[in-house]
Amino acid sequence: MGEGEGGGLGGNMKLEYTPTWIVAAVCSLIVFISLVVERLLHRLGKALKRKNQKPLFEALQEVKEELMLLGFISLLLTVFQGAIQKICIPTSWTKDMLPCKKEHSKEGTDAGEKHFRSQFFVGVLGGGRRLLSESGFGVEHCAAKGKVPLLSLEAIHQLHIFIFVLAVTHVIFSALTMVLGGAKIHQWKHWENAIQKDVATAGPKKFTYVHHFDFIKDHFKGFGKDSWILGWVHSFFKQFYGSVTKSDYTTMRLGFIMTHCRGNPKFDFHKYMVRALEADFKKVVGISWYLWIFVVIFLLLNVSGWHTYFWIAFVPLILLLAVGTKLEHVISQLAHEVAEKHSAIEGELVVKPSDDHFWFHRPRVILYLIHFILFQNAFEIAFFFWILATYGFDSCIMGQVGFIIPRLVIGFIVQLLCSYSTLPLYAIVTQMGSYFQKAIFDEHVQEGLVGWAQKAKRRKAQNTDNATESSDGSRESSVNIELKKLVVQRDTT
């Protein structure tokens, strides 16, 4: 049996000519790794349920769903790679919008395409190109027509890796942001404890000039309607230092309690805020459809000479600065409203939460923007490491060092700023909307309310059905009465 038939010595060794111990060993390793990861996720889920961390458990379920989706995408790419190989396109279609400039040799266009593919579709392993041979059936099938395959087998293989790296990076970065941001918010717990003690030992109320409150001093700054630009500038810079002070926390906490739970002055606002943030984490950690659209657009615009990977790195930074500025400006607006309406106040300073302070009158818009920022930043970092591990630092896709270093610096700044400034700001400022979240109740209370609402809905449906039956019965009886009247009239006549 020759090398071409059995493939025993070649790089294209088929499964029927592969030693069984190799197949068994590789399958055992893959199954072992999969079971270990599955068990770890299962144990983590049980730990979260045991600690009554239902929002984080739901976020873990979201991660599992994303991994299942990625597995399905990878399966589709594997199953349909033969069909993709049979899709042939003219050679002229492959000459434009290339991530790297195609180098033409003197041997002609085919040699140039071969050189380009060898540079662009290099495998993670040294033998990757030989394993996923370009001289397969798809290439021969299209070459007979004078065309080329729509996508090479090695390109499909690299798409597998890129999608997996992107999803894992996004999940890790989101979790890292929530952990660091949660640690920052946890530092506010001593403010909550101090406030609880003050509430227990509160003395008689007294009148205080508004401008004597620290909250007003920090945010009013004399910026009136005529100097709104200075107010925005102040909000922009405040997100970098002391984004949330004790006076901010105290004032917004009191405003929330006086609006939504006036009868419970000892309400644990810090605990509620943490529960609400954990509930939002389920939304942040997922990869929505519009984020995949962004990936497709980036891949489309990643053309040689455009440096799209560099310019697009500024998008999450600009959005993050805009979100942080807006959140700080909401706090300033709360201070301005009180300062412009009152000169002196009896007791503590109370602000009025309202959706009107937020973009489109919807505080949840901030969450969608943070979700997009985290995903895009993770995308930038994942793309960098994918190119580095697959093609090397000197790859034409990687670009020049002058473009690489700023990208990494921007990614680090976005991650740090989002964790220690923007996320804590979001956690407290979005509570200044017109409505509170269901996390205001403990988990057992939430379950009780949900059960009560479901029972009320069922009772309402039953009452509606009974009312319909009774109305139908009354209509039938009235019809019978009218028929009897007509019969009597007919008999009498």
Q: Name the H helices within 107-203.
A: 109-120, 128-131, 137-143, 153-186, 189-200
pLDDT, average across residues 6-24: 68
Please give the helix or strand (H or E) that residue 481 lies within, else none.
helix 443-492
For residue 274, pLDDT beyond 50: yes
- Closest by CA to 429, choosing from 212, 292, 221, 248, is 248
Q: What is the pLDDT of residue 318?
A: 93
3-state secondary structure of 221: coil
* % the chain with pLDDT above 70: 74
User: Which carries the bigger pLDDT value, residue 180 or residue 476?
Assistant: 180
Helix (H, G, I), strand (E, B) or coil at 233: helix
Q: What integer pLDDT is reported at residue 488 of this predicted model?
A: 44
What are 208's strand-pairing partners? 345
User: Using CA atoms, how far apart are residues 63 and 173, in angstroms rounded to an integer?
Assistant: 13
- pLDDT tens-digit series, residues 233-246: 888 998 888 788 88
Strand-strand pairing, 207-209 and 148-149: unpaired
Establish how many alpha carbons lie within 13 A of residue 77's alpha carbon, considering only the half-sphere containing its beta carbon: 20
pLDDT tier for residue 366 given thresholds of 50, 70 and 90: very high
Q: Residue 259 region, left (φ>0) first, then alpha (ψ -120 to 50), else beta? A: alpha
Out of 43-52, 155-164, 320-329, 484-493, least confident range: 484-493
Burial class (CB in 10 A: 0-12, 13-18, 19+), 460: exposed
Put simply, whether the predicted model's pTM sits higher than 0.85 gets the answer no
Note the pLDDT of residue 123.
Answer: 40
Render pLDDT for 278-318 as a digit per residue (tens, 0 to 9). Answer: 888 878 887 778 888 888 888 888 787 777 777 888 889 99
Token digits of residue 402: 């002058």
Tens of pLDDT, residue by residue over 36-53, are: 988 888 888 888 878 777
Distance between CA atoms of 262 and 431, rounded to whole angstroms? 15
DSSP for residue 191 = H
Every domain of the chain and the residues it spans: 1-52, 161-440, 456-493
> Stretch 186-206: mean pLDDT, rounded?
79
- Counting other chains too, the contacts that 353-362 makes at CB distance below 8 Å and 24 or more residues apart are 353/255, 353/256, 353/259, 353/431, 353/432, 353/433, 353/434, 354/432, 354/433, 354/434, 355/433, 355/434, 355/435, 357/330, 357/333, 357/432, 358/326, 358/330, 358/430, 358/433, 359/326
Q: How many angstroms separate the most distant Cα atoms in the chain?
A: 114
Predicted confidence (pLDDT) at residue 319 exceeds the cutoff of 90: yes
What confidence score (pLDDT) does residue 468 get? 53
Cβ–Cβ < 8 Å for 272, 439: yes
Of 282, 285, 215, the C-alpha closest to 432 is 215
Cβ pair 301, 310 in contact under 8 A? no
Scanning 12-53, the segments in alpha helix (DSSP H) are 20-50
Q: How confident is the model at residue 321 (pLDDT cuts 50, 70, 90)?
A: very high
Q: What residue type is 74 in one-letter code?
A: S
Q: What is the pLDDT of residue 7?
A: 47
The per-residue pLDDT of the chain, averaged, comes to 75
